[in-house]
Amino acid sequence: MDKQSPRSGRREFLAAAATGGVGLALGPAAGQEAAAKPKGNSGRLRVVLVGTGGRGSSTWGKNLQNNFGDVLEFVGLCDINRKRMAVARDYIGVNCPMFSDTEFDEMIRKTSPDRVIITTVDSFHAKYICRAMELGVDVISEKPMATDEKMVQEVLDTERRTGRKLIITENYRYSPDGATIKKIIDSEEIGTITSVDYNVYLNTNHGTSYFRRWHGFKQFNGSLLDSEGSHFLDLVQWWLGAEPAEVQAFGALRRYGYNGEYRSARCMNCPHKGKCEFFWDVTKDKFAMDFYVNAESEDGYIRDGCVYRRDINVWDTMTLNVRYHTGVLMSFSLNAFMPYEGYRISFNGTKGRLDARAYHDQPWKVEGPVEIRITPLFKESRTMGAETQAGAGGHWGGDSKLQDSIFRGPIPDPLHQRATNREAAFACLLAIAARRSIEQNRPVFIEELIKL
Ligand SMILES: NC(=O)c1ccc[n+]([C@@H]2O[C@H](COP(=O)([O-])OP(=O)(O)OC[C@H]3O[C@@H](n4cnc5c(N)ncnc54)[C@H](O)[C@@H]3O)[C@@H](O)[C@H]2O)c1
């Protein structure tokens, strides 16, 4: 507990108690039911998918259909864009009915699903989570839980009131390096963690893609701290077994948006394509053509939007100073136009230090994709790689491990990789608090935002 801060105290102690105590592996997540209970005649779990874009069609569509077809069946799809949804239906390989967003209630009534899976644009997650639970259906939703504090409050209140089960899919917890770091910290070899230095780099493929898409606008994703950053902010609270209490953040838009010397609406047909370093030829990407360009007539969504559009309003350069309820301090940064992708993190402990780094596409040679180094005080330093994950697949094998835990459960969870909804709420609340801090130029306390 940070004795320096007038805001820390009993409330934060209660928060720690509620999550099972600092540094302990927490119990089964609230949403971690045993094996999902089917109610359909087929004996398989009846699922509907809301949001049939890239993530929905692939990870939560085709992959589920191919790998879990013995335990679940798709009974409905829902999206604002009928053309995209029709392409998605073929891509997933199902033949279930399709519904527009305004027909969501009708879909639930007609298809009687056991689970609603939500993979829409971020800012609509909370609306569908709450409506599905109101209609008596359990929910699996992509992160982030929500894009502002009122939505978070509504989700938690609705979950409590309806008693429905909600799983927010914090898949990065299932990455091999995430698990290795968790084990080292839990072993207490480097003692009690006092502070964390964490830098995340998004490259001109991954990071730039956000500025071509809906992620460039706060109204759709809160900010990149929520949409992308909440992955990393969730990892930290999981590794530490601590809840964020306070943040002071800064953010700037330094490379994209109004910083460009020229611009157009999109890359396709852009008069500057010969000289623009960010030019991306969407016509060479079959998936993007099928799912987005050929479906533009429905909703006007442009997949290859110009990264220099003047109305882009998220930051590409962000730093956070965070205090956790345990007194641990963190400095964190997220940069979205880097020449290579990856992260480096250091945990400073009372008995030593843990450094980890993972770079991808870096223009120099490194030993292995991930290096983890333990340096106990007054002893030799040693390095190790992360554990490897059999089968790999999306997000270093994390996606399929997470899906196994949901659909092949119950699966032992000794590292507490399944996030509770309280933790999923805190992951996005820290991002939301950081956004408020940047906008209002002041420190923001999480307890200002939400009643838990
Ligand atoms: N966990 C991860 O690693 C990971 C990776 C990628 C994406 N995601 C998340 O998955 C979600 C989808 O991302 P994506 O990359 O597939 O985006 P996308 O743009 O490809 O797909 C979003 C889909 O939502 C639909 N949609 C938008 N508004 C809607 C509404 N009101 N009602 C119904 N449908 C609506 C769009 O038409 C589109 O089909 C996002 O929340 C994103 O943050 C998570």
In this structure, what is the dihedral angle of CA atoms 373, 377, 381, 382, given to the nearest 10 degrees? Answer: -50
pLDDT of residue 31: 37
Return the SS3 of 7.
Answer: coil
DSSP 51: -
Q: Which of 116, 119, 231, 299 best tests ligand 1's pocket when mutated (most atoms within 8 Å of CB)? A: 119
Specify the ligand 1 atom closest to the Cα of 88: 39
Specify the ligand 1 atom closest to the Cα of 214: 19
Q: Rounded distance, CA 182 to CA 241, Å?
A: 10
Burial of 377 (0-12, 13-18, 19+ CB in 10 A): exposed
What are 322-372's pLDDT values in tens digits? 999 999 999 999 999 999 999 999 999 999 999 999 998 888 988 778 899
Q: Rounded distance, CA 118 to CA 47, Å?
A: 11
Contact (Cβ atoms closer than 8 angstroms) between residue 71 and residue 309: no
**Mind listing the domains of the chain with CATH numbers?**
36-169 (3.40.50.720), 173-256+312-397+418-449 (3.30.360.10), 258-299 (no CATH)
Q: What is the CA(20)–ligand 1 centre distance, in A?
A: 33
Per cent of the chain over pLDDT 90 is: 83
State whether the beta carbon of 147 lies less than 6 angstroms from ligand 1: no
Residue 5, pLDDT above cutoff 80? no
Mean pLDDT of the chain, nearest integer: 90
Q: What is the CA(123)–ligand 1 centre distance, in A?
A: 9
State whether the beta carbon of 204 lies less than 6 angstroms from ligand 1: no
- Mean pLDDT over 118-130 rounds to 98
Q: Rounded distance, CA 273 to CA 271, Å?
A: 6
Q: Rounded distance, CA 218 to CA 231, Å?
A: 17
Q: Which of 77, 83, 87, 120 best tests ligand 1's pocket when mutated (most atoms within 8 Å of CB)? A: 120
For 128, phi then psi, to 5°, come to: -75, -35
Quick one: how far is CA 408 from the chain centroid? 22
Specify the ligand 1 atom closest to the Cα of 170: 1
Residue with tokens 């809906």: 214
State whether the beta carbon of 81 lies less than 6 angstroms from ligand 1: yes
Residue 413 parent element (H or E): none
Contact (Cβ atoms closer than 8 angstroms) between residue 327 and residue 16: no
Q: What is the CA(257)–ligand 1 centre distance, in A?
A: 22
What are 155-211's pLDDT values in tens digits? 999 999 999 999 999 999 999 999 999 999 999 999 999 999 999 999 999 999 999
What are residue 142's DSSP bridge partners?
A: 169
Q: Rounded distance, CA 382 to CA 190, Å?
A: 13
Q: Rounded distance, CA 381 to CA 96, Å?
A: 57
State whether the beta carbon of 395 lies less than 6 angstroms from ligand 1: yes
Q: What is the CA(52)–ligand 1 centre distance, in A?
A: 7
Distance spanning both ends of the chain, measured CA to CA: 19
State whether the beta carbon of 79 lies less than 6 angstroms from ligand 1: yes
What is the chain's length?
A: 452
Residue 407, pLDDT above cutoff 90? yes
pLDDT of residue 105: 98
What are 249-273's pLDDT values in tens digits? 999 999 999 999 999 999 999 999 9
State whether the beta carbon of 58 lies less than 6 angstroms from ligand 1: no
DSSP 385: P
Return the closest-CA partner of residue 4 out of 327, 251, 269, 247: 327
Contact (Cβ atoms closer than 8 angstroms) between residue 347 and residue 193: yes
**Residue 384's pLDDT band (cuts 50, 70, 90):** confident
Residue 87, pLDDT above cutoff 60? yes
Residue 380 parent element (H or E): none
Q: Model pTM?
A: 0.91
State whether the beta carbon of 53 lies less than 6 angstroms from ligand 1: yes
Q: Rounded distance, CA 234 to CA 400, Å?
A: 19
